[in-house]
Amino acid sequence: MQFRAAVFLFLIGFWVYEINAQRPKRLLDEVQELQAKYDTLYTNGKKTYVFAGSSSIRFWEELPEIFSEVQVVNSGFGGSMASDLLVYLDELVLDYKPDKVFLYEGDNDIFNKKSPAKIVRQTRRIVRRIQKYNGPTPVVIIGAKPSLVRWHLKKKYEKLNAKLKALCEQDIRTSYVHIWDSMLEDGTVKKEIFLEDGLHMNEQGYSLWKTIIKPFGN
Protein backbone atom coordinates (compact mmCIF):
# COMPACT_ATOMS: atom_id res chain seq x y z
CA MET A 1 0.00 0.00 0.00
CA GLN A 2 2.81 2.38 0.93
CA PHE A 3 4.61 1.48 -2.29
CA ARG A 4 1.53 2.33 -4.38
CA ALA A 5 1.15 5.65 -2.57
CA ALA A 6 4.80 6.46 -3.19
CA VAL A 7 4.47 5.65 -6.90
CA PHE A 8 1.31 7.76 -7.12
CA LEU A 9 3.00 10.76 -5.50
CA PHE A 10 6.00 10.34 -7.78
CA LEU A 11 3.79 10.33 -10.88
CA ILE A 12 1.89 13.41 -9.69
CA GLY A 13 5.17 15.21 -9.02
CA PHE A 14 6.53 14.23 -12.42
CA TRP A 15 3.32 15.42 -14.12
CA VAL A 16 3.54 18.82 -12.40
CA TYR A 17 7.21 19.05 -13.38
CA GLU A 18 6.37 18.26 -17.01
CA ILE A 19 3.64 20.91 -17.12
CA ASN A 20 5.96 23.55 -15.67
CA ALA A 21 8.74 22.51 -18.04
CA GLN A 22 6.46 23.25 -20.98
CA ARG A 23 5.91 26.82 -19.82
CA PRO A 24 7.78 29.29 -22.04
CA LYS A 25 10.37 30.77 -19.68
CA ARG A 26 10.89 33.77 -21.99
CA LEU A 27 7.46 35.05 -20.91
CA LEU A 28 7.41 33.97 -17.27
CA ASP A 29 8.88 37.21 -15.88
CA GLU A 30 6.33 39.32 -17.74
CA VAL A 31 3.45 37.13 -16.58
CA GLN A 32 4.62 37.42 -12.98
CA GLU A 33 4.90 41.21 -13.34
CA LEU A 34 1.30 41.36 -14.58
CA GLN A 35 0.16 39.23 -11.66
CA ALA A 36 1.93 41.51 -9.19
CA LYS A 37 0.41 44.60 -10.82
CA TYR A 38 -3.17 43.37 -10.70
CA ASP A 39 -2.81 41.87 -7.23
CA THR A 40 -2.99 45.48 -6.06
CA LEU A 41 -5.39 46.87 -8.70
CA TYR A 42 -7.95 44.10 -9.14
CA THR A 43 -11.15 44.25 -7.07
CA ASN A 44 -12.94 40.93 -6.68
CA GLY A 45 -16.68 41.06 -7.43
CA LYS A 46 -16.49 44.10 -9.71
CA LYS A 47 -17.57 43.75 -13.35
CA THR A 48 -14.40 42.94 -15.26
CA TYR A 49 -13.24 42.83 -18.87
CA VAL A 50 -9.96 41.04 -19.57
CA PHE A 51 -7.96 41.96 -22.66
CA ALA A 52 -5.45 39.22 -23.44
CA GLY A 53 -2.99 38.73 -26.25
CA SER A 54 0.27 40.03 -27.64
CA SER A 55 1.87 43.48 -27.70
CA SER A 56 -0.96 45.09 -29.68
CA ILE A 57 -3.03 44.60 -26.53
CA ARG A 58 -0.19 45.22 -24.13
CA PHE A 59 0.53 48.70 -25.54
CA TRP A 60 -3.13 49.75 -25.58
CA GLU A 61 -2.84 51.98 -22.54
CA GLU A 62 -6.14 53.78 -23.11
CA LEU A 63 -8.26 50.68 -22.41
CA PRO A 64 -9.33 51.66 -18.85
CA GLU A 65 -10.57 55.02 -20.18
CA ILE A 66 -12.39 53.50 -23.16
CA PHE A 67 -14.20 50.98 -20.96
CA SER A 68 -14.46 53.18 -17.87
CA GLU A 69 -17.75 51.63 -16.75
CA VAL A 70 -15.99 48.33 -15.93
CA GLN A 71 -12.77 47.13 -14.37
CA VAL A 72 -10.22 46.48 -17.12
CA VAL A 73 -7.43 43.93 -16.81
CA ASN A 74 -4.88 44.32 -19.60
CA SER A 75 -2.94 41.07 -19.52
CA GLY A 76 -1.31 41.46 -22.92
CA PHE A 77 2.25 40.19 -23.01
CA GLY A 78 4.76 41.01 -25.72
CA GLY A 79 5.70 38.48 -28.37
CA SER A 80 3.07 36.00 -27.24
CA MET A 81 1.27 33.44 -29.36
CA ALA A 82 -1.97 31.52 -28.84
CA SER A 83 0.00 28.59 -27.44
CA ASP A 84 1.56 30.87 -24.81
CA LEU A 85 -1.79 32.27 -23.74
CA LEU A 86 -3.14 28.74 -23.45
CA VAL A 87 -0.33 27.85 -21.04
CA TYR A 88 -0.82 30.96 -18.89
CA LEU A 89 -4.60 31.21 -19.20
CA ASP A 90 -5.22 30.83 -15.46
CA GLU A 91 -2.83 33.61 -14.48
CA LEU A 92 -3.79 36.00 -17.29
CA VAL A 93 -7.52 35.44 -17.66
CA LEU A 94 -9.34 32.94 -15.45
CA ASP A 95 -8.03 34.22 -12.11
CA TYR A 96 -9.92 37.49 -12.71
CA LYS A 97 -13.33 35.82 -13.22
CA PRO A 98 -14.05 38.07 -16.24
CA ASP A 99 -17.50 39.08 -17.43
CA LYS A 100 -16.10 39.39 -20.95
CA VAL A 101 -12.80 38.47 -22.59
CA PHE A 102 -11.16 40.11 -25.60
CA LEU A 103 -8.48 38.03 -27.36
CA TYR A 104 -5.79 39.09 -29.82
CA GLU A 105 -3.44 36.29 -30.86
CA GLY A 106 -2.30 35.01 -34.23
CA ASP A 107 -0.15 37.94 -35.32
CA ASN A 108 3.11 36.52 -33.95
CA ASP A 109 1.96 32.96 -34.60
CA ILE A 110 1.85 33.45 -38.37
CA PHE A 111 5.21 35.25 -38.29
CA ASN A 112 6.64 32.25 -36.42
CA LYS A 113 5.36 29.90 -39.15
CA LYS A 114 2.39 28.45 -37.29
CA SER A 115 -0.39 27.37 -39.64
CA PRO A 116 -3.77 29.14 -39.52
CA ALA A 117 -5.43 25.80 -38.75
CA LYS A 118 -3.20 25.21 -35.72
CA ILE A 119 -3.76 28.74 -34.42
CA VAL A 120 -7.52 28.29 -34.68
CA ARG A 121 -7.36 24.95 -32.85
CA GLN A 122 -5.47 26.60 -30.01
CA THR A 123 -7.87 29.54 -29.99
CA ARG A 124 -10.80 27.12 -29.76
CA ARG A 125 -9.15 25.47 -26.75
CA ILE A 126 -8.71 28.88 -25.11
CA VAL A 127 -12.38 29.75 -25.61
CA ARG A 128 -13.54 26.36 -24.35
CA ARG A 129 -11.43 26.61 -21.21
CA ILE A 130 -12.72 30.09 -20.49
CA GLN A 131 -16.33 28.98 -20.84
CA LYS A 132 -15.76 25.74 -18.93
CA TYR A 133 -14.17 27.32 -15.87
CA ASN A 134 -15.83 30.74 -15.97
CA GLY A 135 -19.35 29.94 -17.15
CA PRO A 136 -20.96 31.22 -20.37
CA THR A 137 -18.52 34.10 -20.74
CA PRO A 138 -18.76 36.20 -23.93
CA VAL A 139 -15.47 36.09 -25.83
CA VAL A 140 -14.52 38.67 -28.45
CA ILE A 141 -11.84 37.52 -30.88
CA ILE A 142 -10.00 40.35 -32.64
CA GLY A 143 -8.78 39.31 -36.07
CA ALA A 144 -5.13 39.69 -37.00
CA LYS A 145 -4.09 43.15 -38.15
CA PRO A 146 -2.06 44.00 -41.26
CA SER A 147 1.32 45.65 -40.72
CA LEU A 148 4.07 47.13 -42.85
CA VAL A 149 6.80 44.66 -41.89
CA ARG A 150 4.58 41.58 -42.19
CA TRP A 151 2.69 42.52 -45.34
CA HIS A 152 4.43 39.71 -47.24
CA LEU A 153 2.40 37.30 -45.06
CA LYS A 154 -0.87 38.93 -46.12
CA LYS A 155 -2.47 35.79 -47.59
CA LYS A 156 -1.78 33.74 -44.47
CA TYR A 157 -3.26 36.43 -42.23
CA GLU A 158 -6.35 36.65 -44.42
CA LYS A 159 -6.75 32.87 -44.25
CA LEU A 160 -6.38 32.98 -40.46
CA ASN A 161 -9.00 35.72 -40.16
CA ALA A 162 -11.46 33.77 -42.28
CA LYS A 163 -11.00 30.74 -40.01
CA LEU A 164 -11.34 32.83 -36.83
CA LYS A 165 -14.56 34.33 -38.16
CA ALA A 166 -15.89 30.85 -38.94
CA LEU A 167 -14.96 29.72 -35.42
CA CYS A 168 -16.95 32.58 -33.89
CA GLU A 169 -19.98 31.79 -36.02
CA GLN A 170 -20.23 28.40 -34.30
CA ASP A 171 -21.04 29.89 -30.88
CA ILE A 172 -23.39 32.79 -30.10
CA ARG A 173 -21.24 33.67 -27.08
CA THR A 174 -18.25 34.36 -29.32
CA SER A 175 -17.87 37.44 -31.53
CA TYR A 176 -15.36 38.24 -34.25
CA VAL A 177 -13.96 41.73 -34.84
CA HIS A 178 -12.62 42.35 -38.34
CA ILE A 179 -10.07 45.16 -38.16
CA TRP A 180 -8.06 44.30 -41.28
CA ASP A 181 -9.87 46.37 -43.91
CA SER A 182 -10.05 49.52 -41.79
CA MET A 183 -6.24 49.55 -41.55
CA LEU A 184 -5.82 49.59 -45.33
CA GLU A 185 -6.01 52.35 -47.92
CA ASP A 186 -6.10 51.63 -51.65
CA GLY A 187 -5.31 48.00 -50.93
CA THR A 188 -2.20 48.57 -48.85
CA VAL A 189 -1.34 49.27 -45.20
CA LYS A 190 -1.81 52.81 -43.86
CA LYS A 191 1.72 53.91 -42.92
CA GLU A 192 0.54 56.78 -40.74
CA ILE A 193 -1.02 54.51 -38.10
CA PHE A 194 2.23 52.70 -37.24
CA LEU A 195 5.35 53.45 -35.25
CA GLU A 196 8.73 53.51 -36.97
CA ASP A 197 9.13 49.75 -36.50
CA GLY A 198 6.25 49.18 -38.93
CA LEU A 199 4.68 46.61 -36.61
CA HIS A 200 3.27 48.35 -33.55
CA MET A 201 0.56 50.97 -33.78
CA ASN A 202 0.77 54.61 -32.79
CA GLU A 203 -1.99 56.74 -31.28
CA GLN A 204 -3.80 56.99 -34.63
CA GLY A 205 -3.83 53.24 -34.96
CA TYR A 206 -5.31 52.72 -31.52
CA SER A 207 -7.88 55.43 -32.16
CA LEU A 208 -9.02 53.41 -35.16
CA TRP A 209 -9.16 50.23 -33.03
CA LYS A 210 -11.19 52.08 -30.42
CA THR A 211 -13.85 53.03 -32.97
CA ILE A 212 -14.22 49.44 -34.15
CA ILE A 213 -13.84 47.50 -30.91
CA LYS A 214 -15.62 49.68 -28.33
CA PRO A 215 -19.15 48.67 -29.47
CA PHE A 216 -18.30 45.06 -28.58
CA GLY A 217 -18.03 46.13 -24.95
CA ASN A 218 -21.78 46.70 -24.70
Cα(92)–Cα(150) distance, rounded to whole angstroms?
27
Cα(212)–Cα(182) distance, rounded to whole angstroms?
9
For residue 103, list its beta bridge partners.
Answer: 52, 141
Is the pLDDT score of 11 beyond 50?
Answer: no
Q: Which domains does the chain have, with CATH numbers?
A: 27-217 (3.40.50.1110)
Confidence class of residue 39 from pLDDT cuts 50, 70 and 90? confident
Residues 74-101: pLDDT tens digits? 999 989 999 999 999 999 999 999 999 9
Dihedral class, residue 140 (left if φ above 0, else alpha if ψ from -120 to 50, else beta): beta
Q: Which whole number is the average pLDDT over 183-205?
A: 98
What are the Cα distances from residue 156, in Å, to 19, 33, 105, 152? 31, 33, 14, 9
Q: What is the pLDDT of residue 107?
A: 98
Question: What is the percentage of the chain residues whose pLDDT exceeds 70?
Answer: 89
* DSSP alpha helix (H) spans, 88-153: 89-92, 107-111, 116-133
Q: What is the pLDDT of residue 27?
A: 82
